[in-house]
Amino acid sequence: MTYETGRDLPFPLDPLTASVTPGTWELLRRMPKAELHLHLDGSVRPETALELARERGIDGDLDLAGMRDLLVAPAQCIDQAELLRAFDLPIRLLQHPDALYRVTAELVEDIAAEGTVYAEIRWAPALHVNQELGFEDGIAAVVAGARAGMADHPEVLIRLIAVALRSHTPETSVVVAQAAARFLDHGLAGFDVAGGEEAFPDPLDHAEAFAIARQAGLGITVHAGEWGGADQVRRALAVHPQRIAHGTPAGDDPALQRKLIEHGVTLDLCPTSNVQAGIVPRLADHPLRRLLRYAVPVTLSTDDRTVSDLTLVREYAR
């Protein structure tokens, strides 16, 4: 059996990559790569999650196999809600600056191990605010973790994206944007709005936060097209993003493709995650190749390394 080299131990290839030769694996691993769509709370090592859970007395009866079952979502979820349940425990575990620092530094290590030379890690600071942890303290912990990871792995450059949530009030999004702007010179490079499009379809609800972020010099991205088809991707253009996270339905809309090209908007695509969430039925149906053929700017990312049980090398191989 052919194996891909993992961080600690080799693991067997999935059926989607069974025909990939060892030479191709090595080429993909060594090839300098960038990853622009990567969520921190979806990329926690199961071993670390187990340690953090035991330290905090959360789900204390779990072993490593049980932790993996909680953190890795099904390959094809019933709906996006099933996929998002895999984030519940990581968010509970990342309510302390030490945990945010550690998980960020470890993610940088994992990124560097597969030949990625540039990555942007995103997370929602508002999900990590409590009586002991304010917005700025949480952001500072992630910034410090990224710096520590880069110090150990100078071959990789990390930048951070602060995410506001559609389901939160516009006022909360403003606070996120303002806090993120204060870390502009410390590796925080972008502002994003993500979350349930079905209940909160209009990103312009957060127009003030986008304006604050843009004026401060942060790059603008927005999650769109996980629900509602191409119309949701069109709506996202109203906030004048440089990039759109997902945007998958644009693959079936030539007029929208022309708009994306005209406005210079890049789609940060995550094919495996899109299959997992039911946005496309199978990888063969994903529009990545079609978008490339039509000259729409795209990037390739994992979205959530642990939730999708994925590495960037495997995503390229698929």
Catalytic residues: 226
Contact 135, 129 (CB under 8 A): yes
Q: Per-residue DSSP letters for the chain?
A: --EE--SSS-EEPPGGGTT--HHHHHHHHHS-EEEEEEESTT---HHHHHHHHHHHTSSTT--HHHHHHHHSPPSS-SSHHHHHGGGHHHHHH--SHHHHHHHHHHHHHHHHHTTEEEEEEEE-GGGG-BTTB-HHHHHHHHHHHHHHHHHH-TT-EEEEEEEEETTS-HHHHHHHHHHHHTTGGGTEEEEEEES-TTTS--GGGGHHHHHHHHHHT-EEEEEE-SSSTHHHHHHHGGG--SEEEE-GGGGG-HHHHHHHHHHTPEEEE-HHHHHHTTSSSSGGG-THHHHHHTT--EEE--B-TTTTT--HHHHHH-
**Three-state DSSP string of 150-188:** HHHCCCCEEEEEEEEECCCCHHHHHHHHHHHHCCHHHCE
Phi (first) and psi of residue 65, to 5 degrees: -65, -40
CA proximity to 7, closest of 47, 53, 67, 42: 47
Residues with Cβ within 8 Å of residue 65, at least 6 apart in sequence? none
